Structure 1
Amino acid sequence: MRIKRPLKTITDVLVFKTPLEAQLIITRRCNLSCGYCTEYDHTSDPVPLADLKDRIDAIHRLGVINISLLGGEPLMHPDLMEIIEYGSRHSQVSMTTNGFLLKKELIDRLNTAGLSNLQISIDALESDPTHYIQKSLNKLISKLELLKESATFDVHANVVMCEATKETFTETVNQIRAFGFYVSVGLIHNDQGQVQVQGDDYINLWDQHFANRASHTSLDYDYGRQLLQGQQPEWICRAGSRFLYIDEFGLTQYCSSQRNRLNKPITDYTRADLQAQFKERKGCESGCSILCVYRDSMLDNQPLAMVKDAYQSWQSGSISF
């Protein structure tokens, strides 16, 4: 991941305790229909640009470091470039995509708009005949080649570990790494965020992945391994404070799997809300495999370990400035 203005970022995070990330839903519409996904539809209109600008203004007022554009499939939003440009005024902007719509011209426009980071989701070597898994490497090889040739923003891939992907997991990861891209791993979860896989097969794959130091941090490794062992480590979730999730209606939620609990418009959200949610126990931490929320929460749960991991990530090249 590329970090803009690193000295200012460090000051804001450590001194002013600003949120690390705001995930902003810009459309629920998607061009795919993966069986494990609960965050898409094929009918809704994209969130209007004016509404998104109001929400981004609110995110900027809170001092959020990174705005992550999500869907559905964010590449389907007709005003995507203007959204990125607007968000980049006071934050860095990243995006998560399935990559199927990427073309050379579109990548060039993302470069010009100021995108900092792109995560492309790739789950298996080949599509599952049942269509449970649709984001396959064999359909995205040409997109990775385009990104390697043309992207000026940082690119990394995320692979979901589940029953449908475990047989080809290692080969999938190795082929993606051959492009020079960093690979992160997600553990499949239910609609409440609880991990849905465990056992020796998954533990062995997890260990192999993290044996490569270019993989993510030791915090991810230790926590994920405990989940795969059937344990439920205790931790304090900082969702609503260090991590924000803004749904398509502009409501602030804890995360994608814990919607309809907080429900406060981001345009009304204040620093007092950040402080209150920093202390609030969410009650859903046990068994949670929403690793992006866990990772952001660790800044306050285990600050020294977080600093060590950030340094190791910088040395390995998975964080750049």
Structure 2
Amino acid sequence: MRLPSFEHPIRLSRPQVLWKLTKAALDRDRPVLVQIVVTRRCNLACGYCYEYDKVSKPVPLAELKARVDALRKLKTVFVTLNGGEPLLHPHIAELVRYIAEAGMVPMINTNGHVLKAPLIKSLNEAGLFGMQLSCDSLEDNDVTEKSMRRLRPKLELLREHARFMVRVNGVLGSGNPAEMEEVAKVVVDFGFDFQCSLMRDSQGQALPLSAEAQQAYRRIRALKGRLPHVLHDNFQLPLARGESKPWKCRAGARHFEVDGAGLVHLCQPRTGFPAKALADYSVEDIRRQFDCGKACAARCPIAYAHLGSRLDGFRRQQNA
């Protein structure tokens, strides 16, 4: 991968991002977080993942820039680059720069396995605000290849070189709960945030945790410095027990996913609707989805869906 050199590095501060978010909170027509698939290709093959393949070519940079332009017109706040494995895209740093220059906040979800110091430095200069990495176990197993054994050297590189925020996410239920607890301790010791996600079924609904996993989750939640309060994952507590959590999901409005073909979907588990081209997605579409309840919400474990909808819990919504 040939890394670009930027003459004038961009650095987004937390107060700047908070101001963007505050303005969005006052305007219900603005997306808070949009995820863009930049490639379906991945360098891993985790058993619970259906969002990757081994053969797809990256989405051409010109098409991705056109999608960023469409999100700028909608006054989107955060743009998260997804895969597959987004760091496999040959122009990932240039795309991050394009998002930042468009006045939005660039983020990346990655397994982190291809990270090297030059790439981290290039992402620094491009204006990356935050990176979320995945780690589910201490060692590879039949379900996941996202192990701490592979990730630890990358965390050391990030601690040394990254000027952007770093958070690690683990899927609780994909392996031994005690291992997940050890993973969380390692991440917090590095000085990074750690977040637990719940395994979900083929419909995107949360799978309840075993008694052992629930105990591990409670201990992980008690770790000092695990997550900033504003990013709390309290919504997962009833889901882990097999219960439902009533809330107002704003998928398709405050947050949505754009697939590799440029079509808008409510979220990763709910692809297929509305499946409308982002270039044609309008404020009217946002208002329609904002006001429409989602039947899948009660057992939804998708963290970004809950975070993207928190601004509007006091606003009305029709029944699903």
Q: TM-score, with normalisation over the residues of structure 2?
A: 0.89
C-alpha displacement at 1:126, in angstroms?
A: 0.8
2:73 to 51, 61, 64: 61
1:92 and 2:105 correspond = yes
Contact 1:27 1:77 in 2 (8 A): yes
Which ranges in structure 1 are unaligned for 5 or more consecutive residues? 304-321
- Flag structure 2 segments of 5+ consecutive residues without an equivalent: 1-11, 316-320
Give per-residue Cα distances to partners, 1:70-96, cap 9 Å, x unaligned.
000001101111111111121010001
Give a deviation string over 1:281-315, Cα, whole Å, max 9, x none: 22111211112102211221158xxxxxxxxxxxx
| Partner Cα distance (2:21, 2:133) in 1 | 25
- Name 2:199's counterpart in structure 1: 188
Aligned to 1:164: 175
The answer to whether the 8 Å contact 1:206/1:225 transfers is: no
Q: Which runs of 4+ in 1 moved over 6 A?
A: none
Match of 1:135 among 143, 146, 149: 146
Q: C-alpha separation between the residues in 2 aligned to 1:37 and 1:116?
A: 26
In the alignment, does 2:297 pair up with 1:285? yes
Q: 1:21-49: CA deviations, max 9, x gaps?
A: 00000000000010010100001111111
Paired letter, 1:236: K
The change in CA–CA distance for 1:227 and 1:266 in structure 2 (over 3 A counts) is same
Cα deviation for residue 212 of structure 1 reads 3.1
Contact 1:2 1:117 in 2 (8 A): no
The CA deviation string for residues 173-216 of structure 1, in whole angstroms up to 9 with x for no partner, is: 10111110010111111232111232322221222122235334
1:198–1:229 CA contact under 8 A, matched in 2: yes
Which residue in 2 is equivalent to 1:19? 31
In structure 2, what is the Cα distance between the partners aligned to 1:221 and 1:50?
36
CA-based RMSD of the aligned residues comes to: 1.8
Q: What percent identity do the matched residue pairs reach?
A: 35
Worse-matched range after superposition: 56-65 or 293-302:
293-302
Please, what TM-score do these two structures have when normalized by structure 1? 0.89
Residues 119-138 of structure 1: CA distance to partner in whole angstroms, max 9, x if unpaired? 1111111111x2x1101001
Q: Is the 8 A contact 1:38 1:191 kept in 2?
A: no
Cα contact 1:29–1:45 (8 A) shared by 2:
yes
User: Residue 42 of structure 1 aligns to which amino acid in structure 2?
Assistant: K
CA distance in 1, matches of 2:114, 2:46: 16
Show the 5 A alignment for 1:1-321.
3=14, 4-15=16-27, 17-89=29-101, 90-128=103-141, 130=142, 132-212=143-223, 214-216=225-227, 217=229, 220-301=232-313
In the alignment, the residues of structure 1 paired with residue 292 and residue 18 of structure 2 have an alpha-carbon distance, to the nearest angstrom, of: 29
Aligned length: 301
Say whether the 8 Å CA contact 2:68–2:99 is kept in structure 1.
yes
Query: Aligned with 1:263: secondary structure?
Result: strand
| Structure 2 CA distance for aligned equivalents of residues 55 and 219 of structure 1 | 27
Q: Which moved more, 1:290-299 or 1:206-215?
A: 206-215
Deviations 1:130-161 (A, max 9, x none): 2x110100111111100000011111111110
Residue 314 of structure 1 aligns with which residue?
none
Cα deviation for residue 5 of structure 1 reads 4.0
Distance in 1, matches of 2:23 and 2:218, equals: 34
Task: Give the partner amino acid of 1:116.
Answer: F
